Amino acid sequence: MIRKLTEHDIDEVMNIWLTANQKAHSFIENTYWIDNYSTVKAMIAQAEVYVYECDKSKRIVGFIGLDDHFIAGIFVQAHVRSNGIGKQLLDYAKAIKSSLKLQVYAKNERAVAFYLREQFRIQDEWMEAVHHEKELLMTWNQT
């Protein structure tokens, strides 16, 4: 089930955020994610976030964060990846938005491949200033 984030979900969502970022971005120091945890937690509480909750366990196993038409991220727990949860979250966002855009590290090849498979197109690329990693701007438009 996909539903809007509630205040009670924030700690669970933040755990997913931290572990997913550390796994997907092994090329970035873990301290970066830990140092930004509090800032992101405050932002998530104010953001447009939708969670994927398992029907049986009622546990949150993934979420998508949106800022208008910008996808701030899709995060899914490692033990349930490749089960279609990220696609369902993205499809939910596509159903409520006519266009979407996001930034992704080029080294996050799994995410880049996922977005390309989901009809996103690379619009731009640049060297990100903090970590000196190549980032891609990807966009999707409803047809």
Angle between helices 10-24 and 37-46 (to 10 degrees): 130
Band (106; pLDDT cuts 50, 70, 90): very high
Taking the alpha carbons of 124, 126, 129, 135 in that order, is the dihedral positive or negative? positive
Nearest to 111 by CA among 51, 49, 14, 25: 25
Please say whether the beta carbons of 142 and 113 come within 8 A. Answer: no
pLDDT at 141 over 80: yes
pLDDT one-digit tens code per residue, 21-80: 898 888 888 899 999 999 999 988 888 999 999 878 789 999 999 999 999 999 998 887
pLDDT of 71 reads 95
For residue 8, the model assigns a pLDDT of 93
How far apart are alpha carbons 83 and 76 in whole angstroms? 10
Task: Give residue 54's pLDDT.
Answer: 85
Amino acid code (one letter) for 111: A
Q: Which CATH superfamily is domain 2-141 in?
A: Gcn5-related N-acetyltransferase (GNAT) (3.40.630.30)
**H or E element: which one contains 21?**
helix 10-24
Report domain extents, the chain. 2-141
